[in-house]
Amino acid sequence: MSEFKSVKSSRVTISQLMLPSHTNFSGKIHGGYLLSLLDQIAFACASKYSGNYCVTASVDTVDFLNPIEVGELVTLKASVNYVGNSSMIVGIRVEAENIQTGKVKHCNSSYFTMVAKDEEGKNTKVPGLLLSNYEEVRRFYNCIKQIALKKERNLHEEIFDYKSEEALLTLKNYNVKLELN
């Protein structure tokens, strides 16, 4: 296995025409269907980069920015933005193109944490990431910040006393009514 691999070597692009069978009750492409496509491309990207079977550890961000219509050509572009020991953060951009007008809109940005597994299902080391331009450096730093925020949030949840009088009093600022037993 190579010691370092480029971001470019991880890139995967898939395109799919959106059909009526992919819609929700409002006639737009169902978010769950899009999530399935996102998970598929995250798997392909991480597996291609690591050379191993990969599993989804977490879906860190899914921002639905614009609805996708039936008949649009959806293109998902994925690349590894960050690597740890056995984990990778895959960034995915989703664009939808009206194939009659050629107009393209950014519909979704997502970040999946994927973990490489060996033949026995144990976590396995992935190659280091070779950053070759400032955009790749920016994406790597953004991942570092996201990881730090996630750790801070998890620590906060562990030590926050939600039963304290102070915590309960702050709830009066929200649209909530307490009826505790």
* CATH number for position 76: 3.10.129.10
With beta carbons less than 8 A apart as the criterion, state whether 68 and 34 touch: yes
Residue 53, domain member (yes or no): yes
Residue 175, domain member (yes or no): no
Cα 181 to Cα 164, 166, 178, distances in angstroms: 15, 18, 10
Is residue 158 within a helix (H) or strand (E), and if so which, with residue range? helix 134-159
Residue 151, domain member (yes or no): no
Residue 88, domain member (yes or no): yes
Which residues are CB-contacts of 83 (< 8 A; sequence separation ≥ 6)? 49, 89, 126, 127, 128, 129
Residue 11, domain member (yes or no): yes
Counted domains in the chain? 1
Residue 160, domain member (yes or no): no
pLDDT for 2 equals 55
- State the Cα–Cα distance between residues 119 and 152, nearest whole angstrom: 33
Q: Torsion angle of alpha carbons 30, 33, 38, 41, nearest 10°?
A: -140
CB atoms within 10 A of CB 178: 7
The rounded average pLDDT for each run of 10 residues, N- to C-terminus, in the chain (181 residues) is 88 97 95 97 98 96 94 98 98 98 97 97 97 97 94 78 88 89 81
With beta carbons less than 8 A apart as the criterion, state whether 140 and 81 touch: yes
Parent domain of 99: 4-130
pLDDT for 27 equals 93
Residue 16, domain member (yes or no): yes
Residue 165, domain member (yes or no): no
- State the Cα–Cα distance between residues 108 and 96, nearest whole angstrom: 9
pLDDT for 80 equals 98
